Amino acid sequence: LDEGPNGEIEYSFSGHAPPRVRELFHIEPRSGQVLLKGRLDYERASLHELYVQAKDRGPSAVAVHCRVLVHLLDVNDNAPEVTLTSVSTPVLEDAPPGTVIAVISVLDRDSGDNGRVSCEVGPNVPFELRSSFRNYYTLVTTQALDREVVPEYNVSITARDMGSPALLTRSTLTVPVSDVNDNAPRFLQPSYSVYVMENNAPGASICSVSALDPDCQQNAYLSYSIADGHIHGMPVGTYVSINSDSGHMYALRSLDYEQIRSFQIQVQAQDAGFPPLSANVTVHIFVLDQNDNAPVIVSPMPRNGSVATELVLRSARPGYLVGTVSAVDADAGLNSRLSYQLLQATDFTLFSVAPDTGELRTLRSFLEQDASQQQLVVQVRDGGQPALSATVSLLLSVVETMPQTLSDFSEFSLPPEVSSSSPLTLYLLVSLGSISFTFLLAILILTAIRCRGERRSRQGDSCSPPRCHCCPGSRPSSDGLKTSNLTAQPPAGTTAATCLDVPAGGPPGYCYKVCLGPESAQSDFMFLKPCSPPRNNEKDPGKRSRPDQHLQVSKEAKQPNTDWLPPSTQRPALKRYQIQHWGGKRKQVDRGYGNGEVISDTALS
């Protein structure tokens, strides 16, 4: 209300105003307007308290004070903040679904809806966020992982507030996947075929195998080995070896096509994981033939180390087949294809050899001036490179007629190296020789025993050649019993026998045969039929001689049958025996040619 200077009022902050207020606000001294001097921040201070004073310009001016409260209104000026409080990386690829990867916290300094935040992860990842507490989330797996497909994931986490306009924050989390040994090695080929020329140098590289393992680090480190096995009875390790690191294979021996043409081995690739995984592959090794075997002549074969011989009729016409030269070659393919040619000949115009079959034929008829012996040399050559050959020499004899003998062309014999190497042939020869020797030894022993027995028989036996007589019973007389002079002449070469007559006084007489061989000291008796009735010239058929009476041999000599007697030069000394019995004893009374009758005084019962 005053006038003049006393009525002019000035406005200012009082001395109690803090420095922060002075930085943010300004008061016009004349008008008293409070102006904004600095940037306000609701999140820092939502309320400001201003102390303002006013006084005039008069002397002894007195200031008056007032307090001004400035309330700030929040605006959505702060984006959410994402913080990874706990991260567990890398994660195993075999981790089950629900495995916690990280713990995430979010913060928005705004208030109200401006401070409300929602979080989410990007699409196409096997992860998700699960809310555990307010503004806290966990990142977990939703499915099984595969490091060989995706070795690392970049997970994008988006935090968005509810303000208007909404503010958001994106954060990326890198999740590496650690490897486990869940993949076995795999060979680049399902099988390998290797072709090796025979007669290779031992230690030469023949092939290389390779395998891959999709795992990493030690799970992908591979070592190669050859599985145990046998090739023609020998361990496979004696044929080939393999480098465990590179997979290169080497031949340990020189291969021979004629002994082994192909074989297969199993190669194993194993990783260094735990537990280790492995895979196998079959390697087929084929041995290629090389012309390292010359042809071998199998027919005709030379006899006793000389040339082979053959007979040819002089009347043979042109085209006559003399023989066929046969040969074999242990090689295969073109190396075993044989061709025949006539290398040398006494007369090239006389014979020819078929190049494919080896048939030796005449080209023309024989002439008188042609030599009776033709010398030929036939060469057999194979089709290899370089070609190998063999020759055979033939000696052809020109004859008028063909004898009944086999030629060298008709005989097929194996080469000496083939026949001598057959153990079966050796066993057969040894067995046949042993049996033959045993048989001959047995024959010699039996012959010696028989000769010894015959020698003893001749020394101790003086019997006459045996004959057979069928005699009727004789009648006794005062002079003794008279024997019948009926003599049966046996045919030549048969066993002779002597029949005896039983005298009167006992049972009816019987005829029996006594076999007295000149070579044997034994006498064989054969029982025959009863004797014939007594003759008419016998006086008393009822009387028989007593047992103590002796027998008298007939003194009438009978001439031998000349039909079966041997010639005089070969005739043995035939003997006639007269035997008398006294008390059961036998006595020889006569020798010489006779009828060989023997009379016994013993009655057969």
**Tens-digit pLDDT profile for residues 204-220:** 999 999 999 999 999 99
3 state SS of 131: strand
**Phi, psi dihedral angles at 452 (to 5 degrees):** -65, -45
Average pLDDT score over residue span 72-94: 88
Secondary structure of residue 10 in the 3-state scheme: strand
Residue by residue, what is the 3-state secondary structure of 240-258?
A: EEECCCCCEEEECCCCCCC
Token code pair at residue 54: 């006013």
Over 70: is that where the pLDDT of 240 sits? yes
Domain over 186-288 is classified CATH 3.60.15.10: no
Query: In this predicted structure, what is the pLDDT of residue 564?
Result: 33
Selection from 34-38, 324-328, 599-603 with the highest mean pLDDT: 324-328
Strand positions, DSSP E, 215-348? 222-226, 230-231, 234-235, 240-242, 248-251, 262-271, 278-288, 296-299, 308-313, 321-324, 326-328, 338-345
Rounded-to-integer distance, Cα 357 and Cα 338, Å: 9
**What six digits make up the tokens of 312?**
């040819």
Q: Which CATH architecture has domain 4-71?
A: Sandwich (2.60)
Contact between residue 598 and residue 484 where contact means Cβ atoms under 8 Å apart: no
For residue 234, the tally of other CB atoms under 10 A from its CB is 12
- Beta strands in 418-504, from DSSP E residues, in sequence order: 498-499
Q: Write out pLDDT tens, residues 356-386.
A: 999 999 999 999 888 889 999 999 999 988 9
What confidence tens digit (pLDDT) does each residue in 272-308 have? 999 999 999 999 999 999 999 999 999 888 776 678 8
Q: Would you state the pLDDT for residue 2?
A: 67
> Strand 91-92 and strand 168-178: pairing?
parallel
- Kind and range of the H or E element at 110? none
Fold of 296-415: Immunoglobulin-like (2.60.40)
> Which of these ranges, 93-97, 123-127, 506-510, has the smallest mean pLDDT?
506-510
- Tell me if 293 sits within 8 A of 330, measured CB to CB: yes
- Cross-strand pairs, 378: 342, 392
Calpha distance 197→7 (Å, rounded): 128
The structure tokens listed for 231 are 């090739």
Task: Name the pairing type of β-strands 523-530 and 338-345.
Answer: unpaired
Q: CATH top-level class for 81-178?
A: mainly beta
Checking if the pLDDT of 497 tops 80, the result is: no
Tokens of 363: 């080209």
Write b or e for each residue in 81-103: b if 16 or more Cβ atoms lie within 10 A of its Cβ, otherwise e: ebeeeeeeebbebebeeebebbb
Which has the closest alpha carbon to 523: 481, 595, 471, 464? 464
pLDDT over 70 at 355, yes or no: yes
Residue 405 has pLDDT above 80, yes or no: no
The arithmetic mean of pLDDT across residues 484-507, rounded, is: 40
Is residue 363 within 8 A of residue 312, CB to CB? The reply is: no
Asked if 129 and 120 touch (Cβ cutoff 8 Å), the reply is yes
CB 75 within 8 A of CB 114: yes
4-71 and 186-288 share one CATH topology?
yes
Give the CA angle between residues 594, 597, 603 to the nearest 5°: 165
Model pLDDT, residue 459: 64
Q: HSE (CB half, 13 Å, CA atoms) of 195?
A: 3
DSSP 236: G
Give dist(CA 349, CA 547) in Å, integer: 105
Give the 3-state secondary structure of 328-343: ECCCCHHHHCEEEEEE
Question: Collapsing DSSP states into helix, strand and coil, what is residue 120?
Answer: strand
Decide if 51 contacts 14 (C-beta within 8 A). Answer: yes
Average pLDDT rounded to a whole number, residues 56-79: 84
Nearest to 86 by CA among 159, 143, 136: 136
- Amino acid 85: pLDDT: 84
Task: Give yes or no for a cis peptide into 29 (omega within 30° of 0).
Answer: no
Q: What sign has the CA pseudo-torsion 255, 261, 266, 267? A: positive
Other beta carbons less than 10 A from residue 445's beta carbon? 10
- Cα(174)–Cα(156) distance, integer angstroms: 9
Q: What is the mean pLDDT of residues 237-246?
A: 94
Average pLDDT, rounded, for the chain: 76
Alpha-carbon span 467 to 513, nearest angstrom: 9
Helix or strand holding residue 436 (H, E): helix 423-460
Lowest pLDDT segment from 91-105, 237-251, 534-548: 534-548
CB atoms within 10 A of CB 466: 21
pLDDT in tens, 412-466: 444 444 444 456 778 888 888 999 999 999 999 999 998 888 777 766 554 444 4
Question: Which of 260, 259, 266, 268 lies closest to 284, judged by CA?
Answer: 266
pLDDT at 250 over 90: yes
242 burial level (CB within 10 Å; 0-12, 13-18, 19+): buried
Strand order in the sheet with 117-121: 91-92, 168-178, 152-161, 117-121
User: In this prediction, what percent of the chain has a pLDDT beyond 90?
Assistant: 40
Per domain, the residue ranges of the chain are 4-71, 81-178, 186-288, 296-415, 422-455, 461-605
Q: Rounded distance, CA 214 to CA 148, Å? A: 6
